[in-house]
A and B are shown apart, each in its own frame.
Chain A
Amino acid sequence: VIVVLERGASGEEVRGILASLASLGLEAREISGGGRSLVHVVRGPTRRARKLLAHGRVVALVPTSGPRIRREGRRFYPYHFIGWCAAALVASGVLVLLAGVLPPGLGPSFDALDPPAPAAAPLPWYLLPARGLSRLLPDGLRWVGGLAVLLVLALLVALPFVDRAGRARWTGGLLALVLLGSALALGVIGAGA
């Protein structure tokens, strides 16, 4: 692992990082590259180096070894670019197939000046959770469905400002599970007749 320090890190700070690594049982040496100080962990269980991410001057850990790198070697962007091009070709083929097999339909025309009577609207799939929530509420509170969508959006916007903890936590996974689970459940209710 290479420990990347912020630009302008002093020699004392680098020595502090080396001492921290030594206390974790890791042998490391200072190297330089790109005009910044780097510390190369050369021996020891490199997983322990993750603790350094809590250090204010450490900006990143770049793995230089590990099972995947030993197996695959160090691959550069052009190598992956070929794989992505292949994936893009397959994706384009799937889209052409869908366009041919399931072409988008077109319903009967209507006169906007003399509109038809309100009927059940075919909502797109991403609006089904909001409709599902509305169905669970009494008539006077139907607007809560729309408000709930706005609240979830506000929560997602607020996350960078309220959750600033550096250590990995389980909150992300739990939040994803709760949002996905409730969206699926409400979507099923919203899709029902």
Chain B
Amino acid sequence: MNARARELRPRSLLWEALRRPVGPHHRGWLAFGWLLLLVLILEAVSGCLLAVYYRASSEAPESLRFLMREVDWGWLVRGLHRWGSQALLAIALAAGLRELVARGWRGSRGVLWLLGLLVVLVLFASDLTGMLLRWDEPAYQTTRAVLARVEALPGVGAPLAAVLGGATKVAPATIGRVYAAHVFLLPFVLGAAVVAAVWYAGRRWRSRGGAA
């Protein structure tokens, strides 16, 4: 392994981080990142547990009722997943606002700014698709309203709404698309963005001699 590859090894990066003092202005950023990572892990674990009982079809409300009433601690898993998503959005928005005030897009931080934007967008999309997965009447009305707004966009609206909804209006195919996006596509994009952001921030931190 050459020296360049060795210095980018995660263990090497972690060891170096432990040996360096934390700058007085970095604590807030690190606390945001740490909380975000923790709640993301909580969401992933609770989401996997929910997927054991959830059925992405017209039986979705019944499967959720069964989970809430019959399964031990099912109410807790669903509640944690729901409130965890709200906490994620709140933390991500607070971090974004802080970056905005500090003009965190300047210089080499621009890459982190764009990755952060991608993370926030994916979190919003995950929350929206998660809400629609209840597949009850309020979720139907929300899906219809969101698709109507997308469809009203000039030019790209109609085809985009058809791709998102699986049809020109809310149909049984919609829940399959929403489920696939919520469980496969969005977590993959989110994970890739978070890994890329952590890797880039670590590399940048190291190249600047431990300064943010």
Contact = CB atoms under 8 A, between A and B. Distances in A.
Interface of A: 2, 4, 7, 33-34, 36, 38, 59-63, 66, 68-69, 72, 74-80, 83-84, 87-88, 91-92, 95-96, 98-100, 102-104, 106-113, 115-116, 118-124, 126-127, 130, 134, 142-143, 145-147, 150, 153, 156-157, 159-161, 163-166, 168-169, 171-173, 175-176, 179-180
Contacts of B146: 121, 123, 127
B10 interface: no
B149 A143 contact: yes
Given A77-B18, A106-B65, 17 more contacts: A34-B209, A36-B209, A59-B211, A76-B21, A91-B35, A91-B39, A99-B76, A99-B80, A99-B82, A107-B136, A109-B137, A122-B142, A126-B89, A146-B150, A172-B101, A172-B102, A180-B97
B170 A95 contact: no
A94 to B, nearest CB: 8
A171 B209 contact: no
B105 A163 contact: yes
Contacts of B62: 109
B18 A76 contact: yes
Contacts of A99: 75-76, 78-80, 82-83
A176 B38 CA distance: 26
Contacts of B38: 88, 91-92
B9 interface: no
Contacts of A166: 106-107
15 contacts: A2-B209, A4-B208, A60-B212, A62-B209, A77-B20, A91-B35, A96-B80, A107-B61, A109-B135, A110-B137, A113-B171, A115-B140, A123-B145, A160-B109, A176-B97
A160 B115 CA distance: 12
B134 A62 contact: no
A99 B27 CA distance: 29
Interface string B153-188: 110010000000000011110110000000000000
A168 B103 contact: yes
B138 A122 contact: yes
A124 B133 CA distance: 14
Interface in B90-148: 97, 100-107, 109-111, 113-114, 117, 121, 124, 127-128, 131, 134-142, 144-146
B84 interface: yes
